[in-house]
Amino acid sequence: MIDLILLPGKEKSLQRFHPWIYSGAVSSVNGQAENGETIRVINSSGDFLAWAAYSHLSKIRARVWSWEREESIDRMFFRDRLASAIALRANTDLSCAVRLVYAEADNIPGLIIDRYGDALVIQFLSAGAEYWRQTIAELAMELTGATRVFERSDIEARRLEGLTDRSGLIMGDNSRSTVEFLENGAKFEVDIIAGQKTGFYLDQSKNRLIMRGYSSGCDALDCFCYTGGFTVNLLMGGAQSVLAVDSSANALAQAQKHVCMNYLDPSIVEFKEADVFRFLRELRDRNRSFDLIILDPPKFAYHTSQIERAARAYKDINLLAFKLLRPGGKLATFSCSGAVDEALFQKIVAGAAVDARVHAQIVEHFHQAQDHPIALAYPESAYLKGLLVKVV
Ligand code: SAH
């Protein structure tokens, strides 16, 4: 067994069950560990701390699998961990989409598994998860009864782990890469191979339903609409019109398809391919106004060093949105940047309202859906926050 020995005093975060061991905390490794191999973590006095997956390149040098000395990290271990993550989502109907495993927050660092109907989409994001790739794929199929398992391990995070991109079918039926599913009674379809991320932003599912309840009779503007998750819900809730904006033509084409798949009236929806930052200014200059605006931008801050720039971007779009709202109108505004916490986000939105010279009240606080749990020991798992504000 290869031991990773920590520098004196560097075990504090591990004792609080945070699963990461940074390279700066490591004194030495007594052997040549393969990338992703399980190693034993000990403190400077030689006491056992944890079993972890070694990552030879990443600044996060190891991620903890278990704090139990008696544990063996093997097929049974992953079976148990996967089964308990799946059990947490046991009440999700098979026709729906759900995040079954949310990495560190589900005690399986570096592993994300989403289920869309009968298909699984796995992301192996760390060397440790990659090391157990085949075992995990087999177990996931066995435990869920899925008929096909895809991989979308083609995101930036893998490069930091010394892993190359990989995507495609791992096992099962390879006749098609599209799958239909329901979300709160609305029908959607993803192309698992061609879609962004794992195809659909599942973290917003309950917020889309909440917004359905606020849309009756509204002229709505859905900014960063992607494949129309909010647009479909606004229409289902009885919106009078929706203007849906995104910079991706492919996403807009799929959004249009989703409107039709749900038998909603396409004549009251306008899809606009544009940069939201510019388009909001254009709408302001044309004196357009709305009863309801959604702002669901992509992540602006990937790191704490980008907070300031992100804050400016959030302020900019929120300020413009406030200017486009009719009296009594509502703005649903989100941030999925983990580095921008809830308090800061609220401050930014408040600053935007002041600069737009509007008075507004918070009507709802939004968070990520329950299938994206937040581990108390790993606060980084909380990233999506939002506010519904009403201008008075
Ligand atoms: N609201 C969506 C998810 C939004 S994801 C849903 O519920 O499914 C963010 C979207 O922003 C992506 O579709 C991306 O194409 C788009 N995007 C990123 N930068 C943009 C920009 N500057 N202008 C317009 N769209 C942008």
Beta-ladder partners of 269? 242
Quick check: is 336 catalytic? yes
* Local structure of 150: helix, strand or coil: strand
Q: Is the CB of 276 under 6 A from ligand 1?
A: yes
Domain segments of the chain: what residues?
3-66, 75-180, 201-391
Q: Is the pLDDT of residue 180 over 90?
A: yes
What pLDDT is stored for residue 197 in this prediction? 53
Would you state the structure tokens that stand for residue 52, as one six-digit string?
């972890």
Nearest to 105 by CA among 321, 377, 390: 377
Ordered strands of the 269-273 beta sheet: 269-273, 241-246, 219-223, 290-295, 325-335, 385-391, 360-367
* Ligand 1 atom with the shortest distance to the CA of 230: 7
Q: Which of 68-72, 128-132, 165-169 has the lowest mean pLDDT?
A: 165-169
What would the mean pLDDT of 188-201 be, rounded to a whole number? Answer: 79
Asked if residues 53 and 127 have their Cβ atoms less than 8 Å apart, the reply is yes
Cα(270) to centroid(ligand 1), Å? 16
CA distances from 243 to 143, 211, 332 (A): 42, 15, 15
Nearest to 181 by CA among 93, 102, 90, 85: 93
Extended strands (E) in 192-281: 219-223, 241-246, 269-273
Per-residue model confidence as pLDDT tens digits over 28-38 = 999 999 999 99
Helices (H), 52-132: 75-88, 127-131
Q: Which of 64-73, 145-154, 218-227 has the lowest mean pLDDT?
A: 145-154
Cα(273) to centroid(ligand 1), Å? 11
Q: Which of 72-86, 189-203, 223-237 has the lowest mean pLDDT?
A: 189-203
Per-residue model confidence as pLDDT tens digits over 104-117 = 999 999 999 999 99
Q: Is the CB of 298 under 6 A from ligand 1?
A: yes
Angle at 86 between CA 123 and CA 131, to 5 degrees: 35
Q: What is the CATH number of domain 3-66?
A: 2.30.130.10
What would the mean pLDDT of 325-345 be, rounded to a whole number? Answer: 97
What pLDDT is stored for residue 195 in this prediction? 62
Beta-ladder partners of 124? 111
Q: Is the pLDDT of residue 196 over 80?
A: no
The CATH class given to the 201-391 domain equals: alpha beta
What pLDDT is stored for residue 199 in this prediction? 83
Cα(247) to centroid(ligand 1), Å? 7
Q: Give the residue, out of 116, 197, 198, 246, with the most ligand 1 atoms within 8 A of its beta carbon, to mutate for a pocket test.
A: 246
Q: Is the pLDDT of residue 198 over 80?
A: no
The CATH class given to the 75-180 domain equals: alpha beta
What pLDDT is stored for residue 174 in this prediction? 83
The set of residues, in sequence order, having a beta carbon less than 8 Å from that of 260 and lying 6+ positions away, is 266
What pLDDT is stored for residue 314 in this prediction? 98
Asked if residues 373 and 322 have their Cβ atoms less than 8 Å apart, the reply is no
* Ligand 1 atom with the shortest distance to the CA of 296: 1
Residue nearest to atom 18 of ligand 1 (CA): 298
Distance between CA atoms of 296 and 313, rounded to whole angstroms?
12
